[in-house]
């Protein structure tokens, strides 16, 4: 079922209840259930990031400021988005109760490298553009400058809402989850398709998305206050939370089936009544 054709929140079919606290709780629970794997992927992500930042710092000292910083930023853009995509793939498979291992991060890194790198480049470009515009308009001491600043902040908030879904969407579309084989339709691939679909998801459920974003921001702040938790858990936990957040919307739009709720049957219904003694 097409994501774009089901993004109208007033549709009669969209009766699935979105629960941000449930989503965050499920993400934390999934982190606990796969704690060993989360520790491995998060520590690897943090280690690679720190090494690249050290290289960036070294380049900035050895080269003139502009080329040194530009080269360092390019190294980050060429590695980190694809690495996080590998972690998102592991979370995607784990949420589907598939067997995954640390080696799947490397396989996904290679498999999705091209589209992940393009998506990362767009993300960095948009964030830089919004930041530069925000700094520019803040310097204006006029009513027009204030209005432009508020507009930039609104766009920045909506872009952050879209970011919640982009890596899980990348995995879903590139693995064929969004295809409609019964209709002979193949979902569009690539970074642009990811961004477009993240726009629809954020626009279709803004309050749910903002609530999830606030939860992610709080978790990030708490982990950042203790560097050990951030280094050892952040990447994996956020991958699980965003994956489950996206999956909840997939259920809402009937892209994937809703989980079956198991009914608790009282023990009394299982009791076998007294059997009369047999005669003779």
Query: What is the tens place of the pLDDT at every residue in 113-160?
Result: 999 999 999 999 999 999 888 888 888 878 887 888 899 999 999 999
User: Coil, strand, or helix at residue 185?
Assistant: strand
Please return the burial class of 260, using the count of CB atoms within 10 Å of its CB with bins 0-12, 13-18 and 19+: exposed
Query: What is the tens place of the pLDDT at every residue in 239-269?
Result: 999 999 999 999 998 887 877 665 655 655 5
pTM here? 0.84
Assess contact for 197 and 165: CB atoms under 8 A. yes
Higher-confidence position of 174 and 67: 174
pLDDT attached to residue 68: 84
Please return the burial class of 225, using the count of CB atoms within 10 Å of its CB with bins 0-12, 13-18 and 19+: exposed
C-alpha pair distances (Å), 201 with each of 186, 192, 193, 215, 241: 19, 14, 12, 18, 16
Q: What is the DSSP string of 101-143?
A: -THHHHHHHHHTHHHHHHHHHHHHHHHHHHHHHHHHHHT--SH
pLDDT attached to residue 10: 43
Q: How far apart are CA 53 and CA 47, in angstroms?
A: 10
Average pLDDT, the chain: 87
């Amino acid at each position: 079922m097409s994501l774009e054709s089901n993004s109208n929140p007033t549709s009669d079919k969209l009766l699935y209840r979105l629960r941000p606290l449930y989503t965050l709780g499920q993400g934390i629970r999934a982190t606990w259930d796969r704690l060993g794997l989360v520790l491995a992927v998060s520590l690897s992500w943090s280690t690679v990031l720190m090494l690249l930042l050290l290289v960036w710092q070294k380049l900035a000292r050895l080269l003139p400021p502009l080329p040194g910083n530009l080269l360092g930023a390019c190294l980050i853009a060429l590695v980190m988005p694809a690495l996080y995509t590998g972690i998102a793939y592991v979370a995607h498979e784990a949420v589907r109760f598939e067997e995954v291992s640390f080696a799947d991060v490397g396989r996904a890194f290679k498999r999705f490298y091209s589209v992940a790198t393009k998506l990362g480049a767009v993300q960095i470009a948009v964030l830089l553009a919004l930041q530069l515009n925000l700094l520019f308009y803040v310097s204006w001491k006029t009513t027009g400058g204030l209005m432009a600043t508020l507009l930039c902040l609104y766009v920045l908030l909506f872009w952050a809402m879209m970011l919640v879904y982009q890596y899980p969407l990348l995995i879903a579309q590139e693995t064929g989850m969004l295809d409609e084989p019964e209709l002979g339709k193949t979902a569009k691939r690539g970074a642009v398709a990811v961004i477009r679909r993240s726009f629809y998801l954020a626009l279709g459920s803004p309050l749910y998305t903002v609530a999830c974003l606030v939860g992610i921001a709080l978790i990030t702040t708490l982990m950042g206050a203790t560097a050990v938790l951030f280094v050892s858990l952040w990447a994996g936990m956020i991958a699980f939370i965003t994956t489950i957040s996206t999956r909840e919307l997939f259920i809402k739009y009937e892209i994937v089936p809703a989980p079956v709720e198991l009914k608790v049957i009282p023990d009394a219904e299982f009791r076998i009544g007294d059997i009369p003694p047999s005669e003779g």
